A and B are shown apart, each in its own frame.
Chain A
Amino acid sequence: MIDLRAMKASFKQQSIHFFVDPQWVIPSIIAPFIFTTVTLFLFRHAGGDLLLYAVLGGGVLGMWGNTIHSSSWSIGYDRMNGTLEAIMVTPAPLSSVVFGRCLWNSFLGLLNALAVFIVAEFAFGIDVTVQDPLGFVVAMMATLLSLSVLGMVFGAFYVVTRASSAFFQILEFPIYVLSGAVFPLMNLPDWSRPFSYVIPATWGAEALKISTVAGHDSMGLGYYGALGLTGLTTVAFLLISLWLFTYLEGRAKVNGTLVRY
Chain B
Amino acid sequence: MNGGETVIVVRDLTKVYPAAARLFGDGGREKLAVDHVSFDVRRGEIFGLLGPNGAGKTTTIKMLTTLLIPTSGSASVLGLDAVRDPVKLRPRINLVSGGERGLYFRLTGRQNLEFFSDMYRVPRESKKAKIQYLLDLVGLTEAADVRVEEYSRGMKQRLHLARGLVNDPEVLFLDEPTLGLDPEISRETRALIRRLSEEGMTIMLTTHYMFEADELCDRLAIISEGVIKAMGSPYSMKESVRNDSIIEIEARELGEAQRKELSDLPGVSAVSIQFLEARQLARIVVDDAPALIPTVAALLENRKVISIRVDQPTLEDAYIKLVNGK
B-binding residues in A (CB < 8 A): 3, 5-6, 8-10, 12-13, 16-17, 20-21, 81-83, 85-92, 97, 250, 253-256, 258
Most buried by B among A86, A92, A254: A86
**B103 contact set on A, CB distance < 8 A:** 81-83, 86
- Residue in B101, B111, B116 whose CB lies within 8 Å of A90: B116
A-B contact pairs, 10 of them (CB 8 A): A13-B115, A16-B107, A86-B102, A89-B90, A89-B95, A91-B91, A253-B68, A255-B17, A256-B15, A256-B62
Task: Check B20 against A85 for contact (C-beta < 8 Å).
Answer: no
CA–CA, A179 to B253, complex, Å? 71
Q: Does any Cβ of A come within 8 Å of B283's Cβ?
A: no
CA–CA, A170 to B220, complex, Å? 51
Task: Check A17 against B107 for contact (C-beta < 8 Å).
Answer: yes
**B120 contact set on A, CB distance < 8 A:** 90-92
| Interface membership of chain B positions 54-68, coded 1 if the CB is closer than 8 angstroms to chain A and 0 otherwise | 000001001001111
Q: Does any Cβ of A come within 8 Å of B12's Cβ?
A: no
CA–CA, A255 to B30, complex, Å? 10
Q: Quick one: given A16-B106, A21-B106, A255-B17, are A90 and B67 in contact (CB under 8 Å)? A: no
Nearest A residue to B120 by beta-carbon distance? A90
Q: Does any Cβ of A come within 8 Å of B99's Cβ?
A: yes
Nearest B residue to A6 by beta-carbon distance? B119
How far in angstroms is the closest Cβ of chain B from A202?
31
Q: Does any Cβ of A come within 8 Å of B43's Cβ?
A: no
CA–CA, A8 to B100, complex, Å? 27
Nearest B residue to A90 by beta-carbon distance? B119
Classify the interface of chain A: helix, strand, loop or mixed. Answer: helix
Q: How many Cβ-Cβ contacts under 8 Å join chain A to chain B?
A: 94
Nearest A residue to B20 by beta-carbon distance? A255
Q: Quick one: given A16-B106, A81-B105, are A8 and B118 in contact (CB under 8 Å)? A: yes
- Residue in A8, A81, A92 whose CB lies within 8 Å of B101: A81
Most buried by B among A17, A91, A255: A91
Q: Does any Cβ of A come within 8 Å of B104's Cβ?
A: yes
A-binding residues in B (CB < 8 A): 15, 17-18, 20, 59, 62, 65-69, 87, 90-91, 93-95, 97, 99-107, 111, 114-116, 118-121, 147, 163
- Residue in B69, B87, B147 whose CB lies within 8 Å of A254: B69
Nearest A residue to B33 by beta-carbon distance? A256
Task: Check A91 against B102 for contact (C-beta < 8 Å).
Answer: no
**A13 contact set on B, CB distance < 8 A:** 104, 107, 111, 115
**A10 contact set on B, CB distance < 8 A:** 115
Most buried by A among B17, B66, B69, B105: B69
Most buried by B among A3, A82, A90: A90
Task: Check A89 against B67 for contact (C-beta < 8 Å).
Answer: yes
**A21 contact set on B, CB distance < 8 A:** 106
How far in angstroms is the closest Cβ of chain B from A114?
26
**B102 contact set on A, CB distance < 8 A:** 81-83, 85-86
Lowest 10 A-B CB distances belong to which pairs?
Answer: A82-B101, A9-B118, A90-B119, A92-B119, A91-B90, A82-B102, A253-B69, A20-B106, A91-B91, A89-B95
Nearest A residue to B94 by beta-carbon distance? A89
**A88 contact set on B, CB distance < 8 A:** 66-67
**A82 contact set on B, CB distance < 8 A:** 97, 99-103
Nearest B residue to A255 by beta-carbon distance? B18
**B106 contact set on A, CB distance < 8 A:** 16-17, 20-21
Beyond known contacts A81-B105, A82-B97, A83-B103: 10 more, CB 8 A cutoff: A9-B118, A9-B119, A12-B115, A13-B104, A16-B107, A81-B102, A82-B101, A89-B93, A255-B18, A256-B62
Nearest A residue to B86 by beta-carbon distance? A91
Q: Quick one: given A16-B111, A21-B106, A91-B87, are A85 and B67 in contact (CB under 8 Å)? A: yes
Task: Check A86 against B116 for contact (C-beta < 8 Å).
Answer: yes
How far in angstroms is the closest Cβ of chain A from B68?
5
Task: Check B95 against A9 for contact (C-beta < 8 Å).
Answer: no
CA–CA, A255 to B106, complex, Å? 30
CA–CA, A81 to B106, complex, Å? 10
**A3 contact set on B, CB distance < 8 A:** 121
CA–CA, A10 to B115, complex, Å? 7
CA–CA, A85 to B116, complex, Å? 12
- Residue in B59, B104, B111 whose CB lies within 8 Å of A83: B104
Task: Check A91 against B17 for contact (C-beta < 8 Å).
Answer: no
How far in angstroms is the closest Cβ of chain B from A71?
17
Nearest B residue to A18 by beta-carbon distance? B106
CA–CA, A254 to B93, complex, Å? 21
How far in angstroms is the closest Cβ of chain B from A1?
8
How far in angstroms is the closest Cβ of chain A from B25?
14
How far in angstroms is the closest Cβ of chain A from B190?
22
**B15 contact set on A, CB distance < 8 A:** 256
Task: Check B65 against A89 for contact (C-beta < 8 Å).
Answer: yes
How far in angstroms is the closest Cβ of chain B from A89?
5
**B100 contact set on A, CB distance < 8 A:** 82
Task: Check B18 against A254 for contact (C-beta < 8 Å).
Answer: yes
**B20 contact set on A, CB distance < 8 A:** 255
Nearest A residue to B18 by beta-carbon distance? A255
Nearest B residue to A96 by beta-carbon distance? B119
Task: Check A258 against B119 for contact (C-beta < 8 Å).
Answer: no
Q: Quick one: given A85-B97, A90-B116, A255-B17, are A5 and B105 in contact (CB under 8 Å)? A: no
